A = this chain, B = another copy of it.
Amino acid sequence: MSESFFFPASCPLPTGCKDVVELAHGGGGRLTHELVERLFRPAFATCNEDFTHDGATFDAGNERLAFTTDSYVVRPLFFPGGDIGSLAVNGTVNDLAMCGAEPRYLSVGLVIEEGFALATLQRVVESMRAAALAANVRIVTGDTKVVERGKGDGLYVNTSGVGVVRAPAPVVPQRVRAGDAVILSGDIGRHGMAILAVREGLGFETELASDCAPLADTVLALIDEGIELHCLRDLTRGGLATGLIEIAEAANVAMDLIEAAIPVLDPVRGACELLGLDPLYVANEGRFVAFVPADHAGGAVERLRRFDPRATVIGRVVSAHGRPAVRLNALGGARELDMLSGEQLPRIC
């Protein structure tokens, strides 16, 4: 996910920053949110634009374009179900899709550590090529920088992307309203647990593969079907919970979720229980939530299930009564979800 912001005529920066950047500032949770609010939004944002979405949109001639960027620092570079190359292509393709756009062109910026094997670089490049072909985007421009040994971690990849907006109305958090259905496109938690399993040698490697996949075809199918899309959000860092809380805050709404409706595969649930992690906060790279009017929910789920049979309605949007919140309703009662203040699992994307 990337944040979008627009440029101000004049915005004073906050002063008195004395702290240092922590891993959690990159984790997608509360500290990332604060960094955006304290530093980036005052510097880059105007007051009448959307800062809370996966990309920016603007007019170019007679078309509306979407533009987004993401850096990828995943460790290890290769994991079950993907690698930094396919992740970098699909992640940016998905951010464009979340703007209701058809992805068209990608750029690639590489920061390579001195001593990195050219053969490994070749594997990553080949993976990017294959992922771009699969997602029907063209990698059209690139840049390579090399840093000294000890000043990187093998390879960091940035991809930026340009797409053509296909949705007839803006697909943004501000359009989410009470009454909307919350639809999840598939099961959650696979990507984060696949990374953790291989990184920590937990022995789940054979069972868990990342869900890393391009989502543009799925989104375009919804648009072609005439589904009214109020907002879309792919669930990366911070998982389902963080994505929903961000949207609840941006749209000033509350959400009531049904815990039992949220699909989590047994190996993911088992690994999470073993490690004391909550699958609602574990990263995904091929899942999204869609907010649609209640009378479009049936059609949306039916269309989504042609891509993933686990797609389902997991809750509904209700009035915030002044306090945005995401509530999880289970057999034993309801609890409110918070953004993580720490870092559950660093460098999963």
Q: Which single member of B14, B22, B144, B160 contacts A160 (CB below 8 Å)?
A: B160
- A270 at interface by CB-CB < 8 Å: no
Min Cβ gap A117→B in Å is 5
Residue of B nearest to A343 (CB): B146
Residue count of chain A within 8 Å CB distance of chain B: 90
- Tell whether, in the assembled complex, residue A7 and residue B69 are in contact, meaning their CB atoms are under 8 Å apart: no
Chain B residues with CB below 8 A from A104, complex form = 58
Given A56-B105, A105-B56: A25 touches B112 (CB 8 Å cut-off)? yes
Given A116-B20, A121-B21: A69 touches B109 (CB 8 Å cut-off)? yes
Given A7-B132, A148-B23: A125 touches B71 (CB 8 Å cut-off)? no
- Tell whether, in the assembled complex, residue A145 and residue B68 are in contact, meaning their CB atoms are under 8 Å apart: no
Min Cβ gap A35→B in Å is 6
Residue of B nearest to A16 (CB): B119
Chain B residues with CB below 8 A from A78, complex form = none
CB neighbors of B among A79-125 (8 A) = 104-105, 107-119, 121-122, 125
- Tell whether, in the assembled complex, residue A60 and residue B164 are in contact, meaning their CB atoms are under 8 Å apart: yes
Bound form: Cα–Cα A1–B145 in Å: 11
Bound form: Cα–Cα A160–B143 in Å: 10
Q: How many copies does the complex hold?
A: 2
Q: Which single member of B7, B126, B139 contacts A7 (CB below 8 Å)?
A: B139
Min Cβ gap A159→B in Å is 8
- Tell whether, in the assembled complex, residue A151 and residue B152 are in contact, meaning their CB atoms are under 8 Å apart: yes
CB neighbors of B among A146-196 (8 A) = 146-148, 150-153, 156, 158, 160, 162, 164
- Tell whether, in the assembled complex, residue A139 and residue B62 are in contact, meaning their CB atoms are under 8 Å apart: no
Which stretch from A38-46, A260-268, A310-318 is at the chain B interface? A38-46
Chain B residues with CB below 8 A from A67, complex form = 105, 107, 140-141, 162
- Tell whether, in the assembled complex, residue B26 and residue A145 are in contact, meaning their CB atoms are under 8 Å apart: yes
- Tell whether, in the assembled complex, residue A346 and residue B146 are in contact, meaning their CB atoms are under 8 Å apart: yes
- Tell whether, in the assembled complex, residue A143 and residue B13 are in contact, meaning their CB atoms are under 8 Å apart: no
Q: Which residues of A are interface residues toward B (Cβ below 8 A)?
A: 1-7, 11, 13-14, 17-27, 32, 35-36, 39-40, 43-44, 55-56, 58, 60-63, 65, 67-73, 104-105, 107-119, 121-122, 125-126, 128-129, 132-133, 137-148, 150-153, 156, 158, 160, 162, 164, 346-347, 349
19 A-B contacts, Cβ less than 8 Å apart?
A2-B107, A2-B141, A3-B143, A4-B142, A6-B138, A20-B116, A21-B146, A22-B114, A23-B114, A25-B112, A32-B144, A40-B144, A44-B140, A65-B65, A67-B141, A71-B110, A151-B153, A158-B158, A158-B160
